[in-house]
Amino acid sequence: MAMMRLRREDPRVVGSFKLHRRLGAGGMGVVYLGSDKRGQRVALKVIRPDLAEDQEFRSRFAREVSAARRIRGGCTARLVAADLDADRPWFATQYVPGPSLHDKVHEGGPLPPAQVAAIGAALAEGLVAVHEAGVVHRDLKPSNILLSPKGPRIIDFGIAWATGASTLTHVGTAVGSPGFLAPEQVRGAVVQPATDVFSLGATLAYAATGDSPFGQGSSEVMLYRVVHEEAQLHLVPPALAPIVQACLAKAAETRPTTLQLSLRLKEIAAREARGLPDATEQAPAPRPAARRAAEPARRRPGRPPRAA
């Protein structure tokens, strides 16, 4: 992950953590690399000063922390500490070393099918834990996936929806990243675990091709394509295309579950790593000459068999 020097306006200490570098900034605030007295490194998000007095943003920030606390599993960054009552609310999660999936593909090109399937299987398994906690991420995309030495990690639950939490968006307002969010998000409908499955499908397509399956364009154009046009998967390797297409179904109820997705992607990863063909594919029909050779000899009509 790229790091930047602290700016003059950046704090040097937050809570019990010393800040060392900037890791990035987004709509809600700035993320820093910090450490505690024991040297444990954390990614610490601090809400922007101009938003600290906004109750809507405070509620959203509190929901992000609540979501992080509810999730158990190895595919997300573990929550370390938080202070929602501070003048500038903040929370710290375990620091995950490694590039984002977006940066990895942007700098090195599309990943091989076996690696895409392995990453997808781990993410799908992680989403099982996320959804069991009653949380829907709602913004799963390549830049929110870090490739650590121990496997991919899902980060940034800033717009996550948790069971029992009221929505902070209005009907018809899309929340998420165009090209990676599901049709129901564009329509302002209720999100569900299948919403993250759609986003994961788009993310896997990006990992395998280097582009969104809905191409490029303005936000309006991308949102229209997500709802009304089919994903362009002609560049997705054949081993991955069927499962990616299933994830990108317009109707949420027809998408695979995260458990089904994890199992299927594990199978694909193992098969691709060994260079084996898909067991579900039919063997090609034998060529005419081979088929004739395999048939028993036939006597021509009207002629008796030759005597020995």
Residues with active-site annotation: 139
Determine the distance from the C-alpha atom of residue 266 to the mean position of all C-alpha atoms in its chain, rounded to a whole number.
16
Q: What is the largest CA-CA distance in the chain?
A: 106
- DSSP 8-class letter at 4: B
Q: Retrieve residue 121's tokens.
A: 């299987």
- Confirm if 147 and 96 have CB atoms less than 8 A apart: no
Q: Retrieve residue 22's tokens.
A: 């900037």
CA 211/CA 140 separation, integer angstroms: 15
Give all strands (DSSP E) within the chain, no chain letters: 13-14, 17-25, 29-35, 41-47, 79-83, 90-94, 135-136, 145-148, 151-154, 161-162
CA 49/CA 11 separation, integer angstroms: 11
CA 270/CA 262 separation, integer angstroms: 12
Tokens 């996320």 correspond to: 130
